[in-house]
Amino acid sequence: MNPKPPAPPSATPAGLPTQLDPEFDAFADNYDEALQRGLRVSGEGKEFFADGRIRWLERRLRERGHAAGGIMDFGCGTGTSTPRLLGLPGAARLIGTEVSARSLVVARREHPDPRARFELLGEYRPSGDLDLAFCNGVFHHIPTAERAGALRYVWSSLRPGGLFALFENNPWNPGTRWIMSRIPFDRDAVTLSPPETRLRLQAAGFEVLHTDFLFFFPRPLAWFRALEPALVGLPLGAQYLVLARKPATA
């Protein structure tokens, strides 16, 4: 990640050190524009990928008979996923947490749904009562030494039996690496391989249920996308989902 000016640290009850993020504050008002610079090579915009993630997550939730209930969007940014997550079956409420104060200003303005609220990461107090945690493309921005603390924070937010849907960019996909190199806030990120993500989740006490690879074909090859549900086991998609569960006996 790019060097950042020092900021006073705080700590959550779960022991996760946090600080205000001036880098993402700077991108809050033109985040979509910066993101699209990279995504343009795929022929799609952020909505295509946001919709695809939620569709696949909904499929996995339905397979397990798991209602969305209370949801955390960990690293919610400007709230792009908010209306999509609240559209999941059984969704009742959403808490979006974020380290960029300016991003939260945008999220509150753009997503005034009364079921949603947005808080700085260091100010939200996990209470172990949420049914689902969602995280997209956040962990590659978290310093390596703080990733275990981030997982403890999510763990503390979920009820026993709650699910954690962790989406990350797939570093095994050359196209993903190229796209990230074109996005100002992604080009210096430290990516996580799928095995690393699974191992970190297991070390935090989660049970890993699925690892699914998504987004295989760019827009010029869109006619092949009907095949993608059959390809989720191949480690070639642009992104991957690791779906994990906090044990019911936790």
Please, what CATH class does the domain formed by 21-245 belong to?
Answer: alpha beta
Domain segments of the chain as ranges? 21-245
Q: Angle at Cα 169 formed by Cα 59 and Cα 6, nearest 5°?
A: 125
Q: What is the CA radius of gyration of the chain?
A: 17
Give Cα 156 distance to the centre of its chain: 17
Instruction: Determine what percent of the chain is predicted with pLDDT higher than 70.
Output: 83
Q: How confident is the model at residue 83 (pLDDT cuts 50, 70, 90)?
A: very high
Does the pTM surpass 0.85? The reply is yes
Q: How confident is the model at residue 9 (pLDDT cuts 50, 70, 90)?
A: very low
Say whether pLDDT at 14 is over 60: no
Task: Provide the 10 A C-beta neighbour count for residue 29.
Answer: 13
CB of 166 closer than 8 Å to CB of 139: yes
Which residues lie below 8 Å from residue 43, measured CB to CB, with a gap of 6+? 218, 219, 220
Q: Which of 16-20, 113-117, 145-149 has the lowest mean pLDDT?
A: 16-20
Mean pLDDT over 97-106 rounds to 92
Which residue would you say has higher pLDDT here, 8 or 209? 209
Instruction: Determine what percent of the chain is predicted with pLDDT higher than 90.
Output: 70
Whole-number Å distance between alpha carbons of 162 and 119: 21
